[in-house]
Amino acid sequence: MKAKCLEYLWIIMLLLFVGILYGEHTGSWTAFDPAAVSLVKPSLKEKEDMVQEESVSAGSSSESNQKIDPEMNSNVNAFPENPKQPEENTTVVSADSVQTPSDDASTALPPADFEAEAPTEPKAGFQIDENQMICNFYDGNENVQDGYLILPAEGCVGIRGGAFTTYSGVITELFIPSNITQIERSAFVGMDGLEWLDVDSQNTQVQSMDGILYDSGMQQMIAYPTARTGCYSMPSTVTTVWTQAFYNTALTKIDLLDCGYVRFENDAFGPNRGAGLTVRVPAQYEADYRAALLEYAVQIESVGP
């Protein structure tokens, strides 16, 4: 028992010595209370009570934090645990890639005095239907110069059949621009003074050779100027003659000797039915032509063996 007391005494003296050194080092001094030092180990029950008190203290601190900032607590679950990843084909644009226009950048707004260009209106004297086809020509005072007429280069795409039948003046030459690509049969009926048809070289659907109108492949003869006289030798590539292509023609002879068999559509010669006209054909096709042209007033002349 005496040895035990000496052990405790040495412990107390050691603690006093440590306290003195600490006070001198930190510049602060606190009186040591030996009674405050417990030399008895806490029992198991006391340890459990201490743990319970610490748990209660922590819970109180959490409740206190919730009362101090309720918004912080309500936003704890504002962000999902697993944020949605962009889909495979989704383009992700970073903030660095977004360009903000500067103050001096030009805007897309037009100037105050800007006036929008009005839609193209039909050229005076031409009537254009809802399909952008010339359906009537009624005034040549500003359009026909010395018998020469130029069709509108914009606002239309073609010519209806009979479009010039109401015009009473004389048109001797007609120019077809590149935009006129749709020409109906009988389009030039009534142009009794017409001697020449000319076509813009940029036109992709029709062309002119020696003033006569053909399709772009030179296989279809579309129109022969009514006022032309003499003899017409048809190109060897032609296989079809359009309805009223030779409308009331003034020709005296059509030569088909360089061609194979050429098909004439119905009413190819108009009201005069080709009266006074001779058609020269290869002998091998004579029978075919006589049958095909039987309804007309033309004369068939066979040439060759």
Radius of gyration of the chain (CA): 54
Of 24-33, 106-115, 152-161, 199-208, the range with the lowest mean pLDDT is 106-115
Residue 161 maps to a domain: yes
Task: Mark which of 173, 194, 228 sits at the end of a domain.
Answer: 228
**Is residue 55's pLDDT more than 70?**
no
Whether residues 223 and 128 share a domain: the answer is: yes
Residue 5 maps to a domain: no
Whether residues 179 and 203 share a domain: the answer is: yes
**How buried is residue 254: exposed, middle or buried, by Cβ count under 10 Å (0-12/13-18/19+)?**
buried
Of 99-103, 138-142, 196-200, 245-249, the range with the lowest mean pLDDT is 99-103
Whether residues 136 and 220 share a domain: the answer is: yes
Identify which has the larger pLDDT, 209 or 45: 209
Spatial contact of 177 and 154, defined as CB atoms under 8 Å apart: no
Whether residues 131 and 220 share a domain: the answer is: yes
**Is residue 277's pLDDT more than 90?**
yes
Whether residues 169 and 250 share a domain: the answer is: no
Whether residues 217 and 304 share a domain: the answer is: no
Would you place residue 255 in the very low, low, confident or very high pLDDT band (cuts 50, 70, 90)?
very high
Task: Mark which of 196, 228, 260 sits at the end of a domain.
Answer: 228
Whether residues 142 and 216 share a domain: the answer is: yes
Whether residues 190 and 278 share a domain: the answer is: no
**How buried is residue 187: exposed, middle or buried, by Cβ count under 10 Å (0-12/13-18/19+)?**
buried
Residue 74 maps to a domain: no
pLDDT for position 216: 97
- The mean pLDDT of 45-74, rounded to a whole number, is 52
Residue 290 maps to a domain: yes
**Is residue 40's pLDDT more than 80?**
no
pLDDT tens per residue across span 151-163: 999 999 999 999 9
**Is residue 201's pLDDT more than 80?**
yes
- β 299-303/278-282 pair status: parallel
Identify which has the larger pLDDT, 79 or 219: 219
Whether residues 256 and 223 share a domain: the answer is: no
pLDDT for position 16: 76
Task: Mark which of 176, 204, 228 sits at the end of a domain.
Answer: 228
Residue 152 maps to a domain: yes
Of 70-79, 128-137, 197-206, the range with the lowest mean pLDDT is 70-79
Task: Print the domain residue range for 209.
Answer: 123-228
Residue 18 maps to a domain: no
Tokens coding 289: 């032509």
Q: Is the pTM of this model over 0.85?
A: no
Whether residues 128 and 202 share a domain: the answer is: yes
Whether residues 127 and 184 share a domain: the answer is: yes
Share above pLDDT 90 across residues of the chain, in percent, rounded to a whole number? 55
Helix then strand then coil, in percent of the chain rounded to 5, is 25, 20, 60
pLDDT tens per residue across span 165-182: 999 889 999 999 999 999
Whether residues 221 and 149 share a domain: the answer is: yes
Q: How many domains does the chain have?
A: 2
Residue 64 maps to a domain: no
How many distinct helices (H) and strands (E) make up the chain? 4, 17
